[in-house]
Amino acid sequence: MAERTDWEARVANLLKAELKRKGVTYSQLVEKLAEIGVEEKEVNVRNKLSRGKFTAAFMAQCYEAIGSNSIRLVD
């Protein structure tokens, strides 16, 4: 299996941090994604975030679903 690049890890960590700030679990994220018409399974979300392999569109969908309107590149 290919290793995550630094950029993949960074992006995955950005999304994980935003979920934590908002107090949203992976299960809740799946529910919120469904509310905006994006069908995902919890296991798929977990895998995407653990691998750091997902599209910019998926990241934008997640941010929209949890009510975040900006991406923090640094804390």
What are the per-10-residue average pLDDT scores of the chain (75 residues)?
Answer: 78 95 97 98 97 95 96 77
Q: What pLDDT shows up at residue 5?
A: 85
What phi, psi does 9 have (nearest 5°)?
-65, -40
Residue 3, helix vs strand vs coil: coil
CB 40 within 8 A of CB 30: yes
Q: What pLDDT shows up at residue 2?
A: 57
Q: What pLDDT shows up at residue 3?
A: 65
